[in-house]
Amino acid sequence: MAPTVINDIETAREGSTLVIRFARPAKKNALTIAMYERLNEALAEAAADKTVRAVVFGSTSETFTAGNDLADFMGNPPTGEDSPVFRFIAGLASFEKPLLAAVDGKGIGLGLTMLLHCDFVYATERTSLVAPFVNLGLVPEAASSLLLPKLLGHARAAEVLLLGEPITAQQALSWGLVNAIVAPDQVMPRALETAKKLAERAPTAVKLTKALLKGNGEVRARMKEEGAHFVAQLQSPEVAEAIGAFFEKRKPDFSQF
């Protein structure tokens, strides 16, 4: 099936796999509300289509995603669980079929946290993952405040979430965030190869095993808690300072708070 691009999201079928690519290279695949809406539609379609056995996320350029488009995000901030961004995050956590990611280049914000809900992640040597939430006056999302300490331990999770320190591809591999590091021209083929293997397994057994591995009850509770703090912080003077500094290309000054 030829690729279709709607709202800067490209979708295509590769056999029994739906491939979803971020397709806004001029803006480093920064995510808009319209992109989140299309992502939600694509996931819902994949969930309902019995011929889709797995979903692979990727990008059409050398940046996976720069995270939220701050101008669009602050112009249409999330106000609750029904907001497109929170629905996408919840949809990832509850998606029953295997989710895979082919990550090349930078994954910022959601570009990191969404990987915690993928069952297989393949990256390139130039991959760099960053969680800049505290630097923007915000709190973590996507249950990353729960999942990262479980995966990395508290000390490393604190570096990632409290300092916003970037994670290199080699660190991501050694810490268990990715399954393998491959060449840029092989990252999507590697993900598709794994997706094809999964499609050959018994589908109900795959879904049940994934659900048992994830144990999402605690995850959903943490997402709700994070979301409430996230929405509240969006109205804070700290965020106003951080966003102002971003657009003025200067370092934010939090000393006044």
DSSP 155-206: HHHHHHHTS---EEHHHHHHTTS-SEE--GGGHHHHHHHHHHHHHTS-HHHH
Please tell me what DSSP assigns to residue 256: T
pLDDT of 1? 67
> Rounded distance, CA 221 to CA 246, Å?
31
Residue 119 main-chain phi, psi, to 5 deg: -85, -30
Dump strand ranges (E) for the chain.
4-6, 9-14, 17-22, 54-59, 99-103, 106-108, 120-123, 128-130, 167-168, 180-181
> Rounded distance, CA 151 to CA 96, Å?
21
The residue with tokens 């808009």 is 32
Residues 55, 56, 57, 58, Cα dihedral to 10°: -150
Angle of CA points 129, 37, 217, to nearest 5°: 65
Superfamily name and number for 4-184+200-204: 2-enoyl-CoA Hydratase; Chain A, domain 1 (3.90.226.10)
Confirm if 48 and 12 have CB atoms less than 8 A apart.
no
> Rounded distance, CA 14 to CA 12, Å?
7
In sequence order, what are the beta bridge partners of 106? 128
Residues of the chain short of pLDDT 70, as ranges, are 1
pLDDT of 182? 98
Per-residue pLDDT tens over the stretch 61-103: 999 999 999 999 999 999 999 999 999 999 999 999 999 999 9
- Measured distance between the N- and C-terminal CA atoms of the chain, rounded to whole angstroms: 54
pLDDT of 2? 85
**Tokens, residue 49:** 């289509």
pLDDT of 215? 82
Strand order in the sheet with 128-130: 106-108, 128-130, 167-168
Strand order in the sheet with 17-22: 4-6, 9-14, 17-22, 54-59, 99-103, 120-123, 180-181
Residue 199 CA, distance from chain mean position: 23
Q: What is the largest CA-CA distance in the chain?
A: 58
Residue 220 main-chain phi, psi, to 5 deg: -65, -40
Confirm if 87 and 9 have CB atoms less than 8 A apart.
no
Q: Count CB neighbours of 83 within 10 A.
A: 18
The residue with tokens 């934010």 is 252
